[in-house]
Structure 1
Amino acid sequence: MSDQPALARRLGTTDATVIGLGSMLGAGVFAAFTPAAQAAGSGLLVGLVIAAIVAIGNATSTAQLAVAHPTSGGVFIYGRERLGPWWGFIAGWSFVVGKTASCAAMALVFASYAAPAGWERPVALLAVIAVTAVNLVGITRTALASRVILIVVLATLAVVVSSGVASGLPAFSAPLDLLSDGPYGILQSAGLLFFAFAGYARIATLGEEVRHPERVIPRAIVFALGIALVIYTAVAVVTLGTLGPDGLASSAEPLSDTVAAVGWAPAEPVVRIGASAAALGALLALVAGIGRTVLAMARYGELPRWLAAVHPRWSVPHRAEIVIGIAILALVGTTDLRGAIGFSSFGVLVYYLVANLAALTQPRAQRLFPRVLAVVGGVGCLALCATLPLLSVVLGLGVIALGVVLRSVKFIVTAHNRSGDT
C-alpha cells in the first residue's frame, strides 16, 4: 500500500462537519418523513428517537474506528483490519451499492422540485453530471459548495419551522396516539428515518483528507449528528403538527404543503429552492464519499485496481468518481427508484453493523466511548434491518449475496490462473 498516491489533507473540523451535515439534511428532511408517517403515523416521533439512538451508537463506533484508521474507505477499512477481508468487503459493497441508489434518488428529488413538468429526468441527469464535475476538481471545492448549499437549506427550514409555530400546530389540538401502529410500524419508521442520519459516514470516508484526524473526525461526527437531530425534531414536530399524521403520510412535498397549509403561500417557492439545494448538496457529498470507498476497495484489489488512481493535480480519485457518476446516470435514466429509501437504509444499516462489530474488537486504549454504545448500535442495526419494508429487505439481501458470489468467483479464477502458471 505504501506505493499508492495519497490524498491531500486539507479539511478542518468545520469543513468535515458541513459535508456530513449537508448529506444528512438533504436526504432526511425532504425525503424520509412521508414514508415514516405511512409506516407509523404520529408514531414516527418515537421512530425518530429510536433512529437517533441507533445513530449515536453507530456514530461513536465510527468515530473511534476512524481515529485508529485515519484513511479513506470508512468501514470497509475498519471491517477489513479488525474482522477480516470478507467483513470489509461486505461493508464496502453494501455502502457503494446502497449509496449509489441513494444518489440517484437525490438527483430525482432535486429534479422534482427544480424542473418543469415533464423535464424531471433530463434535469436529474444534468445534475449528476454537474455534481460529478465539481467533485473531480477537488475536495476543498466540494466542501465550499456544501457550505453554501447548507446555508440555503438552513434558511429554508427556518421558514418552515416558523410557519408551523405561527400556526399553533393545529393537529396537536387532540392528543396523539403515538403507539397506534404498534411496535413493527414504529421500528419500520425508525429504519426509514435512519436514512436521514447516515450522512456522518461521509466524514469517516474522508479520513485521509482531514487535518489532525484524531481530533477532527470525532468532533465533526458528533457535531453533525447533534445538529441534525435538533433540526429533524423541529421539522418533524412542525410538519406533523400542521398536516396531521394522515396529511403527512399522503404528502409528496410535506415542507411545501406545510407552509401552504398555514397560508404562507409566498414562501412555497422559497421552500422549493431550499429543497432543490438540499437534494443537490446531499448528492454532492454522497458522490465524494462513495468515491473514497471505491478508491479504498480498489487499493486492496476488491474492485478493479485501476479505480485506485488519484488525479495528480486535483488529488481526487477521479476514475472512481467518473465510474460512480456513470452508474448514477444509468439508474436515473432507467428507474423511478420507488422504495429507494428502504433499499438504501438496508445497505447502510449493514455497513454500520460491521462498524459496531469492529468497534467491539478495539482494545481499551483505542476506545473513546463506552463499549455499550457499540452493542446498542449493532443490535439496533439488526432490528431496523429486519423491520424495513419486505421488498427492501429482499433486494438488499440479494445484492449482498451477488457481491459475495462475485468475490468468490474472483478468488476461484485467480487460484486457477496461479495453478496454471505453476
Structure 2
Amino acid sequence: MPPGGRGSLRRVTSTWLQNDLGLLIGALGLSLVGVVLVWSATRSSAGGSAALKQLVALAIGVGCAAAVTRLDVRTVRAVAPVVYVLAVLGLAAVVSPLGSTVNGSRSWIRLPGGTSLQPSEFMKVALAVGLAMLLAERAERGLRQRHRDVVLAWVVAGIPVLLVLAQPDLGSALVLVAMSVVIIAAAGAPWLWTAAVLVAGAGAVAAAFLTPVLSGYQRNRLRAFLDPTLDPQGIGYQTRQVRIAIGSGGLGGQGLFEGRQTQGGFIPFQETDFVFSVAGEELGFLGAAGVVLLIGFIVVRCIVVARRADAFGRLVATGVAVWLGVQAFENVGMNLGLMPVTGLPLPFVSSGGSSLIASWVAIGLVGNVASVSAQGRRHRIVSPTA
C-alpha cells in the first residue's frame, strides 16, 4: 500500500476510534448477527449464497460509511440537493417500466448479475440530509421556521412519500413521514403544522384500509393483522408460523441452526421481513432481546450525537435516529403480532443489500456529525479566551 494510502486509512480509523467507537461496534456487531441469522434462514434452500451476498453488502456499506465520515460537512450540505434529486429519480424509475414487482409492491430495479436496487431505502438518507440542509440556516440562529419554509419542507418530503405510496409501499412511506415530522418539528416549525400533519397522517392510514390506494396483497396484509382468519393460507399462515417460532424459543432458544420452524422452511421470506423470528426461535428470548438492545443502543447513540451537534448535524442525526427506531419498532412489532405486516426490513439484520448499505451510510452521516462536533469542542478548548 502506498504511504498516502496508509495515511488515509489511519485518518479514517482515527476518526472512528476517537468519536464513534461505540456506534461502530454496535452497528458492526448487529450486522454480523444479521449475516448469521440470514445464513440460518436460507442454508437449507440456498446454502451460503444469501449470507455471502449479505457479507458483500456489509463490506460495501462499511466502506461507504468510512468515506462519508471523512467528508467535510460543507461538502455534505452542498451535495444534499443532488443526492435528493437522484433519489427522487430512482423512485420515479421504480414506478416506470424499469421497476420490478415483488409481492404486490413495485419497489425494485433489477440490475445486471441478478442483483436489485431498492431506491426507497436510499431515499431515507437523501431526505435526512435534504431537510436538514433546507431548515438548518434558521435553526442555527435559533429562529422559528417561517410558514413558507415549512411548506417547502413538506413539498420536499411529500414528493418521495407520494412516489413510495405509488409503488405501493406503506411501510417505507410511514418511515419517511415520521422522519419528516420529527426533523421539521425539531427545526422549529410552528406546532400547528406538526398537529395538522399528524391528523392528516391518521387520515391517510384510514384511507389505506378503506380505498384501493394499496394493492390487494397489501390490503390483505393489513386486514389479516386485525383478523388472521381472513387469509389463513397467506399472510395469516405466515404470521401464525412466526409466532410459533418465537414462542418455541423459550429463554435460551433451540440452538443456532436447530430451529424447527426455521430449518423446516415453514416461514416464507423469513430472511427478510421475519428474520427476527430466527433470533427468537434459535437464540431465545435472551438472543432476541440482545438484538433489540443493540438497535436501541444505536438509536440512543444517534440521539446523543444530535444533542452535541450544530443545527445541521442535529437534524441529520435526529432523522437517522427516527428512521432506524421507527423501522425497527415496526419490524419487531409485526414479528410479535403487535403491528401489521408492512414488509419493512429490520435495520442491519434483514437480508437485502439496499437496506444494509443505506443503514451504514446513515451510520457514516452520524459519524461525520460526531466528528465535526468533536473538532468543534477541541477548537473551543485550545482557543485563547478573550
Bucket of the pairwise TM-score, normalised by the shorter protein? 0.3 to 0.5
More helix as a share of residues: 1
TM-score, scaled to structure 2: 0.32
Higher RCO (Cα < 8 Å, 6 or more apart): 1
TM-score, scaled to structure 1: 0.30
